[in-house]
Amino acid sequence: MEQGLVTGLAVAMAVFIAPLFVDLALCVAGNLLRPRRPGGEARREIRLAVVVPAHDEETMIARTVLSLREAGAGLDLFVVAHNCSDNTATAAAAAGAQVVELNHPKLRGKGAALRAGFAAAVAAGANAVLVIDADSVVSGNVIDATRSMLEQGAEATQCRYELELPGQGAGVHPLARLRALAFRGMNVLRARGRAGLGFSTGLFGNGFALTAAVLERVPFSVNSIAEDVEYHTRLVAAAVPVYWVENAFVHAHSPASSAAQATQEARWEGGRLHVASRATRRLLTAALGGRWRAVETLADVWSLPLSRGLLALLLTAALDVHWLHVFALGCAAVCGVYVAESVLLGTEPMRDLTALCGAPLYMLWKALITPLVLRQSRSRAAWARTKREAPQP
């Protein structure tokens, strides 16, 4: 009987961690391939506008607006000042943005801000929108690269999205660098890997674009704190792939304090957990209906964060089940290749490798914020600004 319980626990452990490492294996392989493109020459005119949702971003918004204006001269740029208690609207207007003020106590989610921005952009004549967060800076080619992909037939795109590290070079704290590396693996390697295999690359809430046509076909009616993940599951279920924009990027300002980082991480993880529970039926129905690529998206939304997956792998060592140990070794090998590819996608690989020495501490920190993650997984959790220090000029 005792051996039966051990075997049952081993099976449960394998099922628990399998989605993460199967998805990682696919993305590691796909990252070695050229990302899929819609194909063909430009065949339609795209009038692209930018929508920037902003909640109490007075200290950041001017930098973001100026970055976007440099990337696209004459671009229609809408900042949605959403339930702001500071001078976000004034600062955005002074920097050259068109401001949409949305003040409604019952409209608290980022989804509501985006809907208001999308409506304003379409009313002004845009037939596509690019979403940029209010704490971000973009590459000079982000507008042209996104527009080009949309002109070739894409209905949804996602560009490279990374964290902007506080400080430079050796001055970056190892744990901050490690967090940025984990972020790159999630939002760059995995996205690029999916694109290489022909899957939908995913949406990450910043640096994504949608056409007005797809917004009409799949309304942006999501309100969770992981609105990007939830809307992506709806796109996949509707057979609308998100294409990867390879050479354009957006950098978001990284929270400076550990408390702010914990809040942001918990909101991301908790939001994904909430979406996973709601999207499973939708994705399974799509897969059974012949849209088999929905299986990969289902594996993605149910995947553990890598740090938690590695903790689960360590726990398997306590179980005296040979096949489970073989399974864990295979997962560890996949993880090793995944980390190596993530490092090589960065600009300072040697410093990133050195930062990996802090991985055990980072994993412990992730374990300690688990209660906060579970609180954020509740459906009533609201969009809130992450506390950050203003970047140095």
In a domain, 188, yes or no: yes
What six digits make up the tokens of 350? 């040697």
In a domain, 389, yes or no: no
What six digits make up the tokens of 307? 């740090």
Q: What is the mean pLDDT of each run of 10 residues along the chain (393 residues)?
A: 77 87 93 86 86 94 96 91 93 96 80 95 97 96 95 96 73 78 93 95 96 97 87 95 95 69 65 80 92 90 84 83 89 94 92 86 75 62 56 51
Alpha helices in 289-321 (DSSP H): 294-301, 306-316
Gap between the Cα atoms of 336 and 249, Å rounded: 26
The pLDDT assigned to 1 comes to 44
Alpha helices in 238-384 (DSSP H): 258-288, 294-301, 306-316, 322-344, 349-355, 359-368, 370-376
SS3 317: coil
| Selection from 254, 48, 41 nearest residue 142 by Cα | 48
Residue by residue, DSSP assigns 18-44 as HHHHHHHHHHHHHTTSPPP---SS--S
Gap between the Cα atoms of 232 and 156, Å rounded: 10
In a domain, 381, yes or no: no
Environment class of 47 (CB within 10 Å of its CB; exposed 0-12, middle 13-18, buried 19+)? middle
In a domain, 3, yes or no: no
What one-letter code names the amino acid at 157?
Answer: T
What lies within 8 Å, CB to CB, of 320 at 6+ separation is 6
Place of tokens 């065949």: 43
In what side-by-side order are the strands of the sheet with 136-138? 98-102, 76-82, 48-54, 128-131, 208-211, 156-164, 243-253, 136-138
In a domain, 382, yes or no: no
In a domain, 112, yes or no: yes
User: Which is it for the CA torsion 260, 265, 271, 273, positive or negative?
Assistant: negative
Instruction: Supply the DSSP symbol for 321.
Output: -
| Selection from 199, 243, 233, 246 nearest residue 30 by Cα | 199
Gap between the Cα atoms of 76 and 62, Å rounded: 16
The pLDDT assigned to 191 comes to 96
Instruction: Supply the DSSP symbol for 187.
Output: I
The pLDDT assigned to 24 comes to 93
Place of tokens 């626990």: 9
In a domain, 5, yes or no: no
The pLDDT assigned to 178 comes to 86
What six digits make up the tokens of 276? 């996973």
SS3 209: strand
The pLDDT assigned to 393 comes to 46
Gap between the Cα atoms of 307 and 180, Å rounded: 13
Gap between the Cα atoms of 248 and 48, Å rounded: 16
Q: Which domain holds residue 42?
A: 10-374
Q: How many domains, in total, are found in the chain?
A: 1
What six digits make up the tokens of 1? 């009987």
- How many residues are listed for the chain in this entry? 393
The CATH number for 41's domain is 3.90.550.10
Q: Quick check: 97 and 52 in contact, CB under 8 A?
A: yes
CA distance from start to end of the chain:
66
Gap between the Cα atoms of 8 and 19, Å rounded: 18
User: What are the φ and ψ backbone dihedral angles of 82, each rounded to 5 degrees?
Assistant: -105, 110
- Strands (DSSP E) found in 31-153: 48-54, 76-82, 98-102, 128-131, 136-138
The pLDDT assigned to 264 comes to 65
Alpha-carbon distances, residue 134 vs 6, 54, 313 (angstroms): 50, 5, 38
Cα 190 from chain centroid (whole Å): 10
